Amino acid sequence: MALAISHSSHAPRLVHSMVGSRRHAKGRSFVWVDPPLPLFPFLFAFFFSFLFFSFLPFS
């Protein structure tokens, strides 16, 4: 995670290597690191939609 943030200029290649390693890796670190990554857009969408709908009646 810190690697992806600190090397944001290489993000497309990093994501491509993660997707490529998804088919082959079987280790525990692969299982621990990989699943949370696709969840971040859903978490941000849920968080911002919650803020939007919570502040909507007050506007």
The answer to whether the CB of 41 falls within 8 A of the CB of 49 is no
**Residue 15 contacts residue 33 (beta carbons within 8 Å):** no
- Express each pLDDT in 5-57 by its tens digit: 444 454 455 555 555 555 555 555 544 555 556 677 888 888 888 888 888 76
CA distance 27 to 17: 16
Q: What is the value of pTM for the model shown?
A: 0.29
- Show the 3-state SS of 24-52: CCCCHHHHHHCCCCCHHHHHHHHHHHHHH
